[in-house]
Structure 1
Amino acid sequence: MHKLMAAVVSFTLSGLAFAVVPADAAHAKKKVPAKQVAKSVAAKSKAAHMAKAAPLVAAVPMVASVVADPKQQDVIADLVHTGRMVCELGNFVTVTPDPESSTRFIVQMKKNTYHMSPVETTTGAVRLEDPQAGAMWLQLQNKSMLMNSKLGQRMADECQSPNQMAVAEAMKLAPPPSLLDAPTLAKK
């Protein structure tokens, strides 16, 4: 049921970019360049569709569970980047180990403080959650982000530790293959 709901929301959101909306009467009377009309209509259309889709995104339940196995929690905890991380728009997030538990973390952004625990993932990403506050810290190889899972919004994006900055630079110099590229066959 969760997969079906996620697929419906994903399909709905992906189709928003292709919605066709007629130009309004105000643009028809003025001599406005076609590109400007298209941008204006697309922006209005996208905003309207996103407003309609927001309750759907927020209604999708989080399908993850806090890791019960202490060994697995230790493995995930060892992968978490700690310290002050610079994010986009001049924000920063500070991740520190919880002094009371070796597998929990305190994540702070501005005046918000979250006590997060590791959550098992199937993608290899490191995920920490504070289910009571509805906050989630998602850490990839090249960046991290802080999300409000109750509202379905990112609170901080493009957060990077020094290790993540190095990985991001390496990815710029030698980009990984795209999922859309044709697979290459091994030469004999």
Structure 2
Amino acid sequence: MKHLVLAACIGAFTLTTAGVAMAQEPAKKAAPAKKAHAKSTKKTAAAAPAVVPSGEKWQCELGHVLYIGGNMRRDEVITVNWEGKEYRLPRLSTVTGADRYFDARSGLDLVVIPSKAMLFNKNAGQRLADECQTADMQAGGSAPTQAGALRAPVATPLLIAPAAPAADASQAPAAPKQ
């Protein structure tokens, strides 16, 4: 019953305001302003200075390079330099343990796991860069991320037997009888 009354009120309101809106004259368009032609000179406008990449260099497959500025272990917003442009990507929380930085305006999505980083463009639906690693990661280190910092260093693989041989049964002391 409440929904019926609400719908009737909304309908009555739209009918009363629609008549007022139609009765008004449309706004007149402003007269186009005359454009003053700029004097042409031999000198062209100075090109915008290229952004000098700052931050740590990440080398990716297919020759792509991106630079990441900021401390990935603690900063909530990092700066990514991709193809000469700077993007500020805020951190997103994940349940998988990967570090994810996403900017909805530009569509850039950076996912960093301990072995590599991947850069996506969510707006275009494509992967821009894959297998991105720092020089330290290429030498065997882990990613400079929260996930990489939390990962315990690998001292001995779990599936390899210990180096010391087991004692023979003849050398082992006899177990007491009960």
With normalisation by structure 2, the TM-score equals: 0.44
Larger Rg: 2
Higher helix share: 1
TM-score, with length taken from structure 1: 0.42
